[in-house]
Each structure stands twice: as structure tokens, then as C-alpha cells.
Amino acid sequence: MTQTSNDESRHPFLKGLSKHRGAPPTVVVIFGASGDLTARKLIPAIFNLGVDNLLPGDFHLIGYGRKPIPDEEFRSLMDEAIKQHSRRPLSQEIWERVRQHVSYHAGGYDDAEAFASLAAKIDGIEQDLGREVQRLFYVSTPPSVFSAIVSNLGASGMAKAHQHTKFASKVIIEKPFGHDLESARELNAAIKNVFEESQVYRIDHYLGKETVQDLLVQRFANSIFEPIWNREYVDCVQITVAESLGVGSRGGYYDTSGALRDMIQNHTMQLVALTAMEPPVSLDPESIRDEKVKVLKGIQPLSLDSDGGDVVRARYESGMINGEPVKGYMEEEGIPEDSTTESYAALRLSINNWRWKGVPFYIRSGKRMARRASEIAIQFRRPPGILFSEGNKFDVAANTMVISIQPDEGVTLVMNSKIPGLETRTQPVKMHFRYATTFGSNTPEAYERLILDAMIGDSTLFIRGDETEASWKLITPILEHWQQSGEAGMAGYAAGSWGPRAAERLLADNGHEWRRSG
Ligand code: BG6
């Protein structure tokens, strides 16, 4: 098939893409199309890419799911999803051009015939267009059917369509990618039977966040931080991914997961890797991912000793959030009476390499914490207390660089300053950079960036197979230990607090304290 038409003449609203980003004509198939993620994130992201002229001229979207839904009803559901969840209001004019190429395909995930008819449908789209299209499969289903979908994509021939050309098929796999090391390995093996690694896009939506991408820019596009970004100057690193929300209506899912699987294994470990990695030799995906894997592999196995170990888990109890009383974890809908799932986990990591040996990385994530705040705090060593100290009275604070991932995205530098007056007294002061002030606040959502990157074949912001396994390798012994321990060692914290007292010990052992984020 030859390329016979020009994107921009067919769809003037799409002008710009082929010049700037060059995604080839694409059919996106979303497995799990009637799910929550599709409505909340995927469809609004696709709409906003349309608004920004970043969809290819020939763009088709097929929703796939078990429930039969007529095409027009599916389109109306997608209209509603945009109205409710898009960062920009629904523009009928722009959406209509995408909408007319939206359809729905009903079928089971292990139903070979339904996959064969899906393949025929996409072949039909190619024939109608008179040109080749790239197939982009978005697997947004419960993980239990990931393998069945991948194997049917292979058996139906869709995975191999136009292989080794720019139209090669791609597959985006949502989290959770496995539930432990063994299942992640099995899933990787199932994928490898069908796809080449270059076709696989394992998603971690934190990598699509502007502030997370900016971490590499802050580190490697400035010359003032890198010389002090090491064990000589850094005292500790604290990474917090806190949410004020509880498990809400997701109790059934969440209880099979817990904070360690849901947030630490993926999002938080990615923040560790980006904070600690060496400068990559270039910005190509493999160079960056090679450096991240090295960090993950350099993290020492954790001590699981329930008294002095590196790990703390806890569950929220009833408390107050924004002045409103909220339930404890065990009272939430869908949580079994004998649940031993944690809603909070904190870890003390040691990275055994030249740069970080001896610098503790404290990481924590929890639901129903005091407020939504994700941040990376680099705490530098204190200056020697010989000048501005009188006993401990005027002791100076440690300099801290805080990269605020969300909300209130920005970077803050905490430094010491003289309090005006006749005495020489010091006080920590803050220098702020705020994205919203400098760049305005309507920045793209993570999913916009990630879907666009997958369409243009850039896997930098996706997780490579060995990366996910390295992270599971670290986390799995903790999960196994907790499973064996049942309730033993489970701490509690009041909803609306900064987590359990037990987690203070992790830092106190080294004379550190958790920051009160914000
Ligand atoms: C998801 C988790 O991956 O990330 C959720 O499954 C969590 O439990 C969410 O709430 C947090 O994402 P964000 O972008 O709101 O920080």
C-alpha cells in the first residue's frame, strides 16, 4: 500500500502534527473501553491531543469490551467522559472530527473469533484509507486478562502487522504489571512471545507528569546542582507520595493490592530512579532506562526485621480530612473483615553505588494522609555549627531542595538567612519557583503525553521489562514477609495525619525526621 493522501489537506484542523511530531495514521484499540480509566483519563487525553492538533490526520478509535454497546451509544458515553473529565471544555467542532471515526467492538478477551473480526475491521479501515496504519493497542483491563489479550493479538496476526516499519503495532500495558516478581516475569515472557520489546509500552503515568519529566531537566540542564548531588553533600533524600483520598469505591481492587504494590513498586520507585540516576549519555530511551535500571539494581535488599528493619506498614483509622469525619480503612466498602492490607508503606533504602553509598533514601506513600502532596526533598548536610550556633539555640537548618511533583508544582530551596535586627540570628527562608506562576496552569495531563509518545514510537517515558523486574525483585520479599506475618507489625494512623508514629523510627535511627510536606 502506498501513501496517497496528505494529512493536512484531509483534516486542516490537524495541521502541524506531521511537521512537529509525525505520528503515522493510527488505529487505537482500547481494551477495557467501558472502564473507569477510559472515561476519566484516556478519552479526555485523546480529545485534548485533538485540540492541540497532535492527532494524526487519519485517526480511528475502537473501543473493545465484553459488554455489547452500539457504536452511537459508545460515542455518547465518550462525549460525557470529556464533559466530565477533560481539562478543557468539550469543543464539538474538534471532537466531531475524531468522533466520526470512533466505533465499538464487543468481544471476550479470550475469544479468538472476536479478535479475528477486530483484525478484519482494521484491515478494512486500511483499505478504505488506501494507506497503511499503525495499530496501537491500549490494554486497560483488569490484569487477569492481560496475557489472554496479548496472546490473541499474536494469534490474530495484529501484533506483527507492518513489523519493522514505522507502522509496526504497539501495545500499551496499564498497571499493575504483575503482582510480584514471578508474575511480572511471566507477563514479560507472554509479551515477548508476541511482541518485540520496542513495541511494548508499560505505563507508569507518573512519568508523564510534567514535574517528573522536569526532574531530568532540573538535574542535567543546570550546572549548579549536579556537583553537590551525591554523598559528599546530601544527607538524606525523602520522597513522599501522599494522598488525602481514601480507597473510595475501589476497595475491592485496592485490598488485593495495598500501598506497596499500588504506589511504591511503580510510581515511587520511578521517582527514586530519576532522582538517583547517573547522567545518561543521551536522551534516547535506552540510555535513560539503562541508568534507571542501574539504580534499581543498586538498592540493597531491605531488612524486614519488625523492630529495627527498613520497612513500616500501616492502615488508616477514622479521622478528619478537611474538617470532615472520615471512616477507617476497615470500615470502607469492599474491604473484607480479615483484611491485612496496608494503606501506607514507608521504606528506608540504601543505594550501594559510588554516588549514594551511606545516604538514606526514605520513601513513603499512603492514602488518607493530611493532604495530597507528592514531593522529592533533597536534604543537604548541615554546615559546621561553629559560627551561627550558641549551644543549639541558633543552630542553622539543613538546606533542602524540594521538588514538588503535585499539587502546587514547583521547586523550593530552603536556605538560611539573617533575621534583621541587632542580634545575629538565622532563620530558614524559602526561594520558590512555581510552574503555575511562570508557565500558567493548564498543562497537559500525563496521559496526553504518554499516548502521544506511544503513537510516535518514543518509549522514554515507559518502563522497560528489566526495570519492572528489578523493582519487583526488591519489593517481593517484603510482600511475602507481610503475608506470612498477617496482622503482626501493622501500625495504625489517624486519617488526616502524616502517617504512623512507627515510621518515625526509620529516620530517627539516623537522626532525621520526616518533613511535614509543605
Ligand atoms: C494510581 C493508583 O496508579 O495512582 C491510585 O492506582 C492512586 O490508587 C493514583 O490514587 C494516584 O495518581 P495521581 O496522578 O492522582 O497522583
Q: How far is the CA of 233 from the centre of ligand 1 (A)?
A: 33
Dihedral (Cα; 387, 390, 392, 395), 10-degree rounding: -30
Q: How far is the CA of 186 from the centre of ligand 1 (A)?
A: 25
Q: Which of 211, 267, 372, 448 to mutate to test the pocket of ligand 1 (most atoms within 8 A of CB)?
A: 267
The catalytic residue among 11, 60, 105, 267 is 267
Encode 75-113 in three state secondary structure.
Answer: HHHHHHHHHHHCCCCCCHHHHHHHHCCEEEEECCCCCHH
Q: Which of 175, 255, 262, 271 to mutate to test the pocket of ligand 1 (most atoms within 8 A of CB)?
A: 262
* Closest of 228, 238, 225, 266 to residue 361, by C-alpha: 238
Q: How far is the CA of 199 from the centre of ligand 1 (A)?
A: 25
CA 417 to chain centre: 37
CA 48 to chain centre: 19
CA 227 to chain centre: 28
User: Residue 2's pLDDT is what?
Assistant: 37
Whether residue 432 lies in the annotated active site: no
* Ligand 1, atom 10: closest residue by C-alpha: 243
- Residue 509 CB coordination number (10 Å): 12
* Ligand 1, atom 5: closest residue by C-alpha: 262
Q: How far is the CA of 262 from the centre of ligand 1 (A)?
A: 8
Task: Give the 3-state secondary structure of residue 1.
Answer: coil
- Which amino acid makes up residue 340? T
pTM metric for this prediction: 0.93
Q: Residue 25 gets which letter from DSSP?
A: S
Q: How far is the CA of 226 from the centre of ligand 1 (A)?
A: 30
235 lines ligand 1 (CB under 6 A): no
Dihedral (Cα; 279, 181, 450, 116), 10-degree rounding: 140
* Ligand 1, atom 14: closest residue by C-alpha: 206
Task: Give the 3-state secondary structure of residue 349.
Answer: strand
Q: Are strands 170-173 and 200-202 parallel, antiparallel or unpaired?
A: parallel
445 lines ligand 1 (CB under 6 A): no
Are the C-beta atoms of residues 77 and 34 closer than 8 Å to each other? yes
* Ligand 1, atom 15: closest residue by C-alpha: 243
CA 497 to chain centre: 24
Segment-wise mean pLDDT, segments of 10 residues, the chain, 518 residues: 39 40 91 96 97 94 97 97 96 93 97 98 97 97 95 97 94 96 97 97 96 94 96 98 94 94 98 98 96 98 89 97 96 96 98 98 98 97 79 75 95 94 89 93 90 95 97 98 94 97 94 82
The CATH number assigned to the domain with range 2-174 reads: 3.40.50.720
* Closest of 20, 41, 58 to residue 172, by C-alpha: 41
**Ligand 1 closest atom vs CA 267:** 3
Q: Which of 247, 263, 405, 517 to mutate to test the pocket of ligand 1 (most atoms within 8 A of CB)?
A: 263
317 lines ligand 1 (CB under 6 A): no
262 lines ligand 1 (CB under 6 A): yes
The CATH superfamily assigned to 207-382+463-508 is: Dihydrodipicolinate Reductase; domain 2 (3.30.360.10)
Bridge partners of 402?
Answer: 377, 412
Q: Residue 315 gets which letter from DSSP?
A: E
Q: How far is the CA of 174 from the centre of ligand 1 (A)?
A: 12
* Ligand 1, atom 9: closest residue by C-alpha: 263
Q: Are strands 319-321 and 490-494 parallel, antiparallel or unpaired?
A: unpaired
Q: How far is the CA of 243 from the centre of ligand 1 (A)?
A: 8
Cell of 503: 515510621
User: Residue 6's pLDDT is what?
Assistant: 40
Q: How far is the CA of 31 from the centre of ligand 1 (A)?
A: 20
Q: Which of 85, 210, 243 to mutate to test the pocket of ligand 1 (most atoms within 8 A of CB)?
A: 243
* Ligand 1, atom 8: closest residue by C-alpha: 262
243 lines ligand 1 (CB under 6 A): yes
Domain ranges for the chain: 2-174, 207-382+463-508
Write 272-276 long-range contacts (CB < 8 A, 24+).
272/239, 272/296, 272/299, 272/349, 272/361, 272/363, 273/467, 274/212, 274/215, 274/216, 275/215, 275/237, 275/239, 275/361, 275/376, 275/378, 276/237, 276/351, 276/355, 276/356, 276/361
Which residue is it, cell 523550593? Answer: 412
